[in-house]
Amino acid sequence: MHHHVVIEGPLGVGKTSLAMLLAEKLNAQVFLEDVEENPFLIKFYQNPEKYAFQTQIFFMLRRYREAVEVGQMDLFQRAAVSDYLFDKDRIFARVNLGDDEFWLYEQLFQILKKRLSPPDLVIFLQATTEVLMKRIRKRNRKFEKAINFKYLDKINQAFNAFFFHYSESPLLVVNASNIDFVHVPEDFEDLVEHIKQMKIGTQYYIPMSSKG
């Protein structure tokens, strides 16, 4: 069984909902990222050029601290499920920062990255940008109201590019555009079985509701 499972994907794809369901199913400890703790986030969406670097540095240091906490757990006693990968911060940074700022960011990122172990399994949730935008508007978070389609599409493409080349952990790719794990138990239970069987490489998950 996997001791540390990470669920990743772009904004609005459903990472947190799936992480909570999976942690309950596996009797695992769940680690959820609270992006609203970032004091620069609202300012970033209002003025990206001015606040991008502060926003990314805050996120990187917070995610590093939480990744260290997961690494210090006795994972043989209890598994961990988290809704973020440390590397995700670099995906956003590459989109949000200018070249000079990204060079400085990258120096610190690589130092911290070397101190962390990769998870046992990564689940990458994919969805179209149209679906992501609809879900973001539906959940109506104050700090996300300034997100526009063009920016969200850049982030979505950056995630797809990153995971196309990802090889540090076994990777399960899930097209989440038409999947509702919360309200379709059959899809969730089928996914859990795939997770238990995942060992190496990259696999693509087709939900039960799409196979008929």
CATH number for the domain harbouring residue 197: 3.40.50.300
- Distance, in Å, from the CA atom of 172 to the CA atom of 122, rounded to the nearest integer, reads 6
Cβ neighbours, 10 Å, residue 49: 11
**How far out from the chain centre does Cα 138 lie?**
19
Mean pLDDT is highest, among 2-16, 72-86, 178-192, for 2-16
pLDDT of 212 > 60? The answer is: no
Write the pLDDT tens digit of every residue in 34-66.
Answer: 888 889 988 998 898 999 999 999 999 999 998
pLDDT of residue 199: 82
Domain carrying residue 89: 4-210
**How many domains does the chain fold into?**
1
Q: Is the pLDDT at 209 greater than 70, yes or no?
A: no
Q: Is the confidence at residue 86, as pLDDT, over 80?
A: yes
HSE-up (13 A, CA, CB side) for residue 188: 17
Of 9, 3, 27, nearest in space to 177 by CA: 9
pTM exceeds 0.95: no
- Sheet of strand 171-175: strand arrangement: 29-31, 80-82, 4-8, 121-126, 171-175, 202-205
Q: What is the pLDDT of residues 21-32, one digit of tens each?
A: 999 998 888 988
